[in-house]
Structures are given as structure tokens and as C-alpha cells.
Amino acid sequence: MNKAILFNFTVDKNNKQINIERSFNAPKDLVWTAWTTPEILDQWWAPKPYKNETKSMDFSESGQWHYCMTSPQGEKHWCLFDFESIEPLKSFSGIDAFCDENAVINNIKPRVNWHNKFVPNENETIVNIQLQFKTLEDLESIIKMGFKEGFTAGLENLDQYIASQFLLRKQNKTNNMARVSTYLNFPGNTEEAFHFYKSVFKTEFSGKGIQKFDDIPAEEGQPPIAEEIKKMILHVELPTLGGHVLMGTDAPKEMGFTLTQGNNMHICLEPETREEADRLFNELSSGGIVTMPMADMFFGAYFGEFSDKFGVNWMINFQIK
């Protein structure tokens, strides 16, 4: 990311509001997807060391998002977001409230009216967020709970992870020759796994080898990488047989990921043209679940992600030159 991040956080006690203005160095559709897709929300929504877990989500007007924030000790804090209005790729609003596992609202704790507006600005997107409270006591209670600090940390981790991961992929693939690779996610033992694969295939790691999060130079406007993340594996590529490449990264629970066998592997297709990328995406995703529509990404690729109708996970990546 080249641009400094815009982040304005103001508390308006007279109107019982919190107003937030936050920029992302990414196209609007990517940012919108990150805010409206449960699999991605679960990666960043909860403040560390908590992690977010979605029980159910119906992103539609009158739909609900039922989720919980789980502490390292396993204590769950349940919430329910009622969606009231949605303008696709523009804005959505609703009410967030504390509840229990069965989505029964806790009327003692504060409820918050959210209105999120997504505004494109050249190559970035600005999200304007307004939180409206019923009483000043409710507002002050949320502030004391550490809302600003937790929300800030989550957004920063999402920025860092996406931008850095795909920066290295671009460095390792310097042309648009078509190839197929397999992308693997591990809960923190990527290095061990790839040294094992290296010993089996007797090949060498591509590019700069195993890259860790602290190998990426800090850019202006970016926060420092958290200590517990620095030594984690950001990206590695290993040729196997017949031109096939294994790629891998750490996606541990400390970063909000919940990995299970089946969701930790993607087949990654890298076609030679943008048109072929669209064709592959449209035909393979038919009847499946799209988690990230094809779009020009801020990391220099035309990218999309989905699970097909048989439950197989795919990435389509056309590198823009």
C-alpha cells in the first residue's frame, strides 16, 4: 500500500454519536465484500485476543447476523445485527445488540444503530461510519469497553495481511504465463510443512524463499506489525511436479482465522488474459458460493475467490502488468 491511511474517530456527546472515517487502499467492491461476507468478517471483526465466529448471516433487508466474540478462555459474547437498509456497494445500516446463543436480545446492555457508507476515491475506498446511541450512558459504556482500540486493531490487521500476502505473490510471478497452483493455509506451521514438502520433491523455494511478515519493509502510514505475527510465514512457493506450484501462508487463530480440514486449501488458476479469468470464474462458480467477486485489487491483480457447487475452493488470479 502506498497511501497513508485516513482514520478519523470523533465522539459527539451532544448527539450521542460516534463518527468514523476510514480509508482502505482497495477498490470499493473488495472493501464492501470484506464488510458483508461472514467468512471475511470472522477474520477481523473481533478485537484481539478475541476471535469472531458467525453462527448465521442473512445479508438482506430484515435479515440478521448472529455472531459471537470468543475470548482465549472460551467465553462467548453473543451479538445480533439486524439489517434495516441495504444499497448494494453503497451503504447498509442496522442495529447491533448483545444477545444470547439463541439470539434473544439483552435489553440491559446498550444497542447501537450503525450506518456504513462506502465511497470510492481514486484507487481507494473511504468508509464513513456513524454509530447512534439511545443515551449518553450507552455511548460512554461502549467507549469504556475499548471499542476504539479493538476496532482500530482489527482494521489494521486486515490491511496488513491482504496487502503483504499478495505483494509477495506478485514478486514471485513476473509474467502472465498461465499456471495452476495450490494455495495452502496453515494454523502456524507453514514453515515446518514446506520444509517437509521440499524434502519430498527435492526442489527449491521460488523467489526469495520463505518470507515472514517482518521481511516486508514498513510503508509510510502503516502501523507496526504485532510481535506475535512477525515470525509467521507470509508467503512461500515450492515447485513440485510438471510445473505445478505449492503456495502457502500462516493463517492462525491469533489472526482471527478458523481453519478446518477442507477450508484450508484452494486451487489457484492464473490465466493469461482477463477475459479467460472471467470465463473461468463465471463457469466454475455457477451454483457455488462466491466469497470474493472478480475485481481489480489494490495489490495489482484481477482476483476472485469462491467455492464451487461441489464444495471445492478456487482462486482466480490474473496479474495486472
The number of angstroms, rounded, from the C-alpha of 11 to the middle of its chain's C-alpha atoms is: 27
**Are 201 and 276 in the same domain?**
yes
Q: Which neighbouring-strand residues pair with 304?
A: 316
pTM: 0.57
> Can you give the pLDDT at residue 276?
92
Same domain? 214 vs 311:
yes
Residue 197 belongs to what domain range?
172-319
Number of domains in the chain: 2
Q: Is 166 within a domain?
A: no
Q: Give me the pLDDT at residue 217, please.
A: 61
In a domain, 203, yes or no: yes
For the ranges 41-50, 78-87, 133-142, 308-317, the lowest mean pLDDT is seen at 41-50
- On whether both 139 and 204 belong to a single domain, the answer is no
- Considering the domain boundaries, does residue 2 fall inside one? no
Q: What is the CATH number of the domain that holds 41?
A: 3.30.530.20
**pLDDT score at 2:** 45
Does residue 205 share a domain with residue 305? yes
Q: Does 198 share its domain with 312?
A: yes
- 26 within some domain: yes
Where is 236: in which H helix or E strand? strand 233-239
At residue 5, the pLDDT reads: 80
Amino acid at site 30: L
Provide Rg for the chain, Cα atoms. 20
For the segment 142-167, the average pLDDT, to the nearest whole number, is 75
The per-residue pLDDT for range 99-111, each reduced to its tens digit, is 999 999 998 889 9
Give me the CATH number covering residue 227.
Answer: 3.10.180.10
Q: What is the DSSP string of 194-219?
A: HHHHHHHHT---STTSSEEGGGSPPP
Domain membership of residue 154 (yes or no) is: no
298/265: higher pLDDT: 265
pLDDT in tens, 172-231: 555 556 777 898 888 888 999 999 999 988 999 987 789 887 776 655 555 566 677 778
